[in-house]
Each structure stands twice: as structure tokens, then as C-alpha cells.
Structure 1
Amino acid sequence: MALSTSRPTGSVGEIFRAIRSAGTMSRAEIAEQTGLAPSTVSLRVDVLVGLGLLRETGVNASRGGRRSRRLELDGSAGYVASVDVGAKHIAAGLTDAAGRTLRQEERMGSFDGGPEELVAWLWAFIEEMIAASGLDPDRLMGVGVGITAPVEHPSGRVVHPAFMPSLSDAVIPKLFHRYTAVPVLAENDANLLALAELATTPYESDQLLAVKLGTRIGCGVVSDGRLHRGIRGAAGEVGHSSAEGIAMISCSCGIETCLESVASGGALVAQLSELGYDVESSADVVAQGQTGDPVVVDILRTAGGQIGETLSRIVNFFNPRAVVLGGGMAASEHLVAAIRAQLFQRCLPVVANDLEVRPSRSPEDAPLRGASFLILDEVLSPARIDALARGDEEAQAADPSADRTESH
């Protein structure tokens, strides 16, 4: 996720944020950026090193004096878990404090239970991954959860999901806190796709529509480098816009032929099944399209045209820098080509001239990556790091012989 580019105030937490944003810095660079005295910078960096959050690595080229060492995040400080709950799959991952992926797993199928049963299952999944990775359960720093539904921010309450209606009004973080005391954040999966793109290319993705094309259709909106959620987390619900065509699946949104019921992966599975094709998932639809079957190709192109027509209205209104396509259906070249054609045909020249339409940088795991960025930004926020540093200083004052690394 894009971090603030404002000038750090010089607190321990702000210094940590500056290093995290840059990837690596020297003490001299921190002093230059913050205006703090070198001695003050060294004291605050020492706190972060003592907490196990930073480590020194490599050296800068000499400018005639002593060569300064580089500072970077220490991934061993802890790790976060991320979960992506889709209509037809559930994926989970573990990411260290430096943002490096440690493990990812995916399990196919849909979950039919209530919110309590779902969260219990997800927590068991996370625990299994932690054990299989040989990680210390006590080093878990937080959990990020992606849901294919509007999610109220910051409460994490699921708002009127079009699938899994049993999750309506479920407060996901509260349910997780039956099992863990670490921070838990829940977010719409298309928003997580947007966050993953923003974290990867912050300057190219400051005005962005991230469209999730899977069993369902969703969209994450980034404006001026910030995720736009709307009042109740429903911004970007393009899948429930009215569309031309025949509804192939039911949807609880109340619109008789919403885009999701007409052109989503779930709708195409239903349409091809009626025609006698052996398809059960979006991946099967994509695979059928890759064979060149003219019937399947025509269906994919029609769906892409319907999606592109809907998106063109939003693109004309919002004038984004990029439209990023993610999710399983984004692997269909026929669908994507039709979306692209509609956008450039229907958008104003002044809008289309600078518009980039491209696949996600990492379509397979973008929601998981977005969830990990979301929760890492929370658990490593300047306010939390400042509080951690204060606790460490208080512990040292009470017991000067205490090992500072044990307080994290």
C-alpha cells in the first residue's frame, strides 16, 4: 500500500515509516530527511534495532569519511496472515514483517456455513499454515481478510453480500478475536486488488480502477493514491450495475439483469453448462476459450463487451490513469480484448489517450498480497511503533538489564 510522502516528524514511528517506504536508508539520509541531529537519529534507530524491527546491512559508497551502513526492515520481527474468501475458493498466506511471502495455500470449493463457522475454519487454516511453516505462533502480528462483498470500514462489518448472505452484518474482526488478540482487518477483495497494485506501482496507480473478474465482478477505486471505499464500503460495486443481456444466475442486489448475473464467471459457467459444456468454475471457462471453440469465444467476447460498456461510463466519469484487470477471468484473452475494445471505443478521446488497460501485476495472489499490505500498514503504523518504543523504554527504565529484543 502506498505510504505517505509527507515529511517525517522525527518520532521513532515516523523514522521507521520513512525506512519502510524507501526500502533502505542510512542514518545520514534519515537525518537529512528529518532535520534531526545525527545523534538523535542514532538513538531512535537503536531503539528500532533493539526492538528487532530494523537491521543493518551493506554500506554506502564512501564520501571521504567513514562509510555509513544501510538500514532495512528485519523480516524476522514477526509475520502476518492474509486470507481471501472467494465465491469458489479460499486462499491464505503468511508474509514476514518486511513484506516477503513465506507461504501461500489455496483450497477450492465454496463455504456454506454461517460467519462463526467460517471464521473458525479460517483460523484453523491459518494455524495449520503456521505449524507447517515452522513459525512461532506468538510472532503472529495481525490478520488481513478479503471478502467478496462490501465491507464497512473500519469496523469490518460485511454489508449485504450478494453471495454467502449468511455473512450479512457479520463483524469479521470481532469473530476472529475469539481466537486471537492480534489486530484483524477485513476488506472487500477488489479493494485488496487495488491495494496490491498501489503497493507495487504507487506512482503509476494513483488514479486506478482495479476490476476483479472472477465468479463475481467487483472493482476497487484508488483516487489520489488513496483507496476510496464510500460511506459504507460499497464504492466500486460495478457488478450490480444494470446491463443488457439475460441473467444466468440469481443475485440478491435487486437488479433484474445486473452485470454480475449476465457477464461474470459464474454467469458464463451457467450459460456454458446449459449448452452442454463440462464447466464448473471460471478457470474451466477460460480453459474452454483457449481451445478456440467458436461458441465459447463468442460468449467470452460478448461478456467482455458487456463489462467494457459498463466500465466505460465509470472511466469517462472518473478519468483514471489505469484500469487493471484481475481475478481468474482476466486470464481470458478474448474477454480482456473485448473489454479493452469497448473502453477505447466508448471513452472520450481526452480520457482514452492516457488510459492504460492492463492485467494485474500479480493476478494469482493479488488479493492475498493486498490483505498482507493492509494489515502490515496497520501493525507497523507510526502510532503503533511509537507505542511499542515507549513500552520498551519503560521496560528498560524498570529493568536496565532486560533484553530489548524480548519486548517485541
Structure 2
Amino acid sequence: METVTRYAEAEYAPGSVGDVFRLIREGVATSRPALARRTGLAPSTVSLRVDALTGMGLVVERGSEDSIGGRRARRLSVSADSGVVATADVGANHARIALSDMTGQLLVVEESPLDTASGPIASVEWLWEHFQTALDSVDKKTGDLRGIAIGLPAPIEHPSSKVILPSFMPSWHNADLPRLFRSHTELPILIENDANLVALAENAVPDNGRPSHLLAVKLGTRIGCGIISAGRLHRGAAGAAGEISHISVPGTATLSCSCPEENCLESVASGGALVARLRNAGYSVAGTADVVELGRAGDPAAVEALREAGAHIGSVLSSIVNFFSPHVVVLGGAMSASAPLVAALRAELFRKCLPLIANDLSVRTSINTADAGVKGATHLILEELLAPARIEHLVRSVESQGNGPAGAGK
């Protein structure tokens, strides 16, 4: 496996300029006096750290905090204007494109058809063109871009970001998207499994309590699962943790899969499988949205297919939930909007879960199903660009070269 440096996974020194930036970004200490109290550093040392961050345009100092005695301190925060990040949530037949500022605030989100069957090279060209269009729409230039993160419905090797044996995208096997993007940019490019991005998006929302143990199940053309364990994304040894879609189920496959199982969950119960099933029955359905709409309208064949799929998914999840014991199971993707599927999934899941686990288990749809992928991708790339170890490296580089302000992704 190729060795790829990820600053988000690198160690950093307590009290370093990167650590000071982390405390500001997380809202733990947002003034110079608060930073001195928190870190134990001398106020003069804190000022040197803060001055370096403000000088590079990474942090702004404005307004004032509530006083705890004496003069009010000015408030420090991450600069939203130090650049933008581009993200994409790629499905089997479409992609959702977004731009965000450096605080994670979405600036623009748009969705367009994308034929992934054209292969990774053509898809990268398409994505780059749409990133440029998105930049133009918010009056930004390519030079404002600091990094890119893309979610794919496929297993992703970590940390190389190579696509490995995607069931619905065979031409993408071994695709190295960061390398393909090098013809356009040298910026950091991160590629992640789409279900992992849903998990990251859910875990990054303060209002939902940030559950320490969470399963995020992406129910779209394919089926995937992202895992948050002890508050962190769990990828496993090779990056393929959560690939539940290739577990054998007692159903009839309606499409082929690259895995050895004759009747795996994906070939029986995924959105792609349901589309194939209804087409074989004579229905004219273009994709998963049509299947969900038929179910919503009460079509008997569609409702039956959705209920059977939900039961299969719930049965597989029950084993995973009994093993992992999460606080929450979050359902995302187009198929999560199907009431018959979700009802059958919940019924089978709770029927087979241990009472001790089921008593405190929450099963719900994603807080923001449509944007969960791009929000998770935004969180992923910002965690890398603004990692304490990267900030430390940037500050040292600028100081050693005697340069002026620099962006976080450069």
C-alpha cells in the first residue's frame, strides 16, 4: 500500500502554534488570556503564537469576550475568508457539488447528472469543471481553493485513497483520483467512502450530542455503512470497515456483484437491485427515486419489494448492532426516504437485537440527508487542512522563508 501522509493523524506538541490554533478552532479558548490559562504558556509566548496565526490569515481577532474581571479581551476565531474547499458526493448517476469556507459554512450546493460509467478520468475532468463553475458562482478564483474531498459509493483504500473493486463501477478499480487531479492542481485531495462521510457529518453536528458510537447506513443505489467508534471514524486496517453490503442474505439477486456471494445484500436489497427487480416486472423506473415514489404512491409490487429489502437490511444490521452496540443507527441516502423500507428495517432490527442493546438504541434518518455527503466531505478536508500538525508545519515554513501570509492549503 502506498504511504500517504495525513496531517490529521499526525502528533503535535501541546502548547505549539498548532495546538493554540486547535483550541481557538474548537472554541475551547478564544482569547489571548484564555489561551494562556489553558496552555500554561506565558502571555508573551501566546501572543507570538497568535500573531503568527493572524499574520498568515488563519485567525481573526475582533469584538470582545465577556469579562471575568478587568479589561475585556478580544475574541479570536478561525478566519472564514482564508480560502474555500470544494467537495463532491458522487452517486451512481449524479454528483452533488459544494463549496464551503474555512469554518465549514456551505457557500453553494448544486447537483447534476454524472455518468460514472464513463470512467474515473472523464469523471475527474467533469468534477474539476464543475468546481470551477461553483467557484465562479460565488466570485472565487482557483487560487482561493485550499483542498478537495470527494465521496464515492465504493471501498476506498486508506490512506492511499485508491478505489478498490467497486461493485457498480468496475472501470474504477484501482483508480487513483488524487493522482488524476494532479493535471489540474497540487492541492490536497482526499477520497472517502460515501457512507463514512455520512457518519462524519452526523458526528460533527453539536446539537445531536455527538454520539460516541454510531452506525451510518447509506441506502442508495448501493448499500454502505460508516462507523464512528469512541468518537472517531473507524476505517479498519485497509479502510474497508463497514462494507456490510456483501453479507449473504436469503433472497434472490437481481443484479450481479463483484463479491463471491451469490445472493449478497447489495445484489438483493440495494436501490440498484430494486430498480432491476421492478424493471424485470415490466416497470419503467429510471433509478432509486422512482422506486421510492412508487412505494409512496402505494404500488403493491414496489411496496412489497421495499418491505422485503428493509427486512433483509434490518436482519444484517441486527448482527452488526449486537456486535458493536452503538448509540445510534442513522439512515441516509435516497432509499431512507421510503416509509415501507424503513418500517420493515426497524421492525427486523429491533426484533433481533438483544434487549440490553435495543433499550437505548436510536434508529433515525440523517439530520440532513441531501447534504450529508458534502458536509461530511467538508469536515474531512478541513480536519486535514487545519490539523494542528499541518498548521505547525505551515508556520515554520513561512517563518523559515520569511514569507508573508499564506493560505492553509498551500
Q: So what's the TM-score if we normalise by structure 2?
A: 0.92
Q: Residues 209-263 of structure 1, C-alpha deviation per residue, up to 9 Å, x if partnerless?
A: 1100001100011111121112222211111110111111221112111111111
CA distance in structure 1 between the partners assigned to 2:407 and 2:194 by the alignment: 35
CA distance in structure 2 between the partners assigned to 1:306 and 1:167 by the alignment: 28
Query: What are the residue-to-residue correspondences of 1:101-250 with 2, within 5 Å?
Result: 101-201=106-206, 203-250=209-256
Matched, 1:289 2:289: no
| Residue of structure 1 equivalent to 2:383 | 377
Measured after TM superposition, the shift of residue 148 of structure 1 is 0.9
Equivalent residues of 1:192, 1:220 under 8 A apart = yes
Q: Residues 278-297 of structure 1, C-alpha deviation per residue, up to 9 Å, x if partnerless?
A: 32111111111222333322
Query: What are the residue-to-residue correspondences of 1:28-43 with 2, within 5 Å?
Result: 28-43=33-48
Q: Residues 109-168 of structure 1, C-alpha deviation per residue, up to 9 Å, x if partnerless?
A: 432223222222221221222123210211211111111111111111111111111111
Matched, 1:344 2:332: no
CA distance in structure 2 between the partners assigned to 1:205 and 1:158 by the alignment: 29
CA distance in structure 2 between the partners assigned to 1:184 and 1:285 by the alignment: 34
Equivalent residues of 1:152, 1:232 under 8 A apart = yes
Structure 1 portions without partners, runs of 5+: 397-401
Measured after TM superposition, the shift of residue 393 of structure 1 is 2.2
| Residue of structure 1 equivalent to 2:84 | 79
Equivalent residues of 2:197, 2:226 under 8 A apart = yes
Amino acid at match of 1:175: L
Identity of aligned residues (%): 52
CA distance in structure 2 between the partners assigned to 1:347 and 1:406 by the alignment: 49
Deviates more, 1:343-352 or 1:298-307: 298-307
Amino acid at match of 2:188: P
**Partner of 1:76: helix, strand, or coil?**
coil
CA distance in structure 2 between the partners assigned to 1:7 and 1:131 by the alignment: 37
Amino acid at match of 1:308: G
Equivalent residues of 2:202, 2:210 under 8 A apart = no
Matched, 1:301 2:280: no
CA 1:96 to 1:270, structure 2 compared with 1: closer, same or farther past 3 Å?
Answer: same
Measured after TM superposition, the shift of residue 379 of structure 1 is 1.2
Equivalent residues of 2:155, 2:164 under 8 A apart = yes
Matched, 1:98 2:98: no
Equivalent residues of 1:93, 1:105 under 8 A apart = yes
CA distance in structure 2 between the partners assigned to 1:369 and 1:204 by the alignment: 15
**Partner of 2:116: helix, strand, or coil?**
coil
- Large movers: runs of 4+ above 6 Å: 405-408
**Partner of 1:81: helix, strand, or coil?**
strand
CA 1:403 to 1:228, structure 2 compared with 1: closer, same or farther past 3 Å?
Answer: closer
Equivalent residues of 1:24, 1:70 under 8 A apart = no
CA 1:406 to 1:287, structure 2 compared with 1: closer, same or farther past 3 Å?
Answer: closer
CA RMSD of aligned residues (A): 2.1
CA distance in structure 2 between the partners assigned to 1:233 and 1:8 by the alignment: 27
| Residue of structure 2 equivalent to 1:391 | 397
Q: Which has the higher contact order (CA 8 A, sep 6+)?
A: 2
CA 1:204 to 1:404, structure 2 compared with 1: closer, same or farther past 3 Å?
Answer: closer
**Partner of 1:75: helix, strand, or coil?**
coil
Measured after TM superposition, the shift of residue 385 of structure 1 is 0.9
**Partner of 1:383: helix, strand, or coil?**
helix
Matched, 1:59 2:64: yes
CA 1:221 to 1:63, structure 2 compared with 1: closer, same or farther past 3 Å?
Answer: closer
CA 1:177 to 1:351, structure 2 compared with 1: closer, same or farther past 3 Å?
Answer: same
CA distance in structure 1 between the partners assigned to 2:44 and 2:309 by the alignment: 62
Q: Residues 301-336 of structure 1, C-alpha deviation per residue, up to 9 Å, x if partnerless?
A: 121111000100111111111111001111112211
Measured after TM superposition, the shift of residue 72 of structure 1 is 1.1
Amino acid at match of 1:19: I
Q: Residues 71-102 of structure 1, C-alpha deviation per residue, up to 9 Å, x if partnerless?
A: 11111101111122211211211111111111
CA 1:109 to 1:126, structure 2 compared with 1: closer, same or farther past 3 Å?
Answer: closer
Measured after TM superposition, the shift of residue 403 of structure 1 is 5.1
Measured after TM superposition, the shift of residue 57 of structure 1 is 3.3
CA distance in structure 2 between the partners assigned to 1:176 and 1:199 by the alignment: 27
Amino acid at match of 1:348: L
CA 1:354 to 1:382, structure 2 compared with 1: closer, same or farther past 3 Å?
Answer: same
**Partner of 1:112: helix, strand, or coil?**
helix
Report how many residues are paired: 400
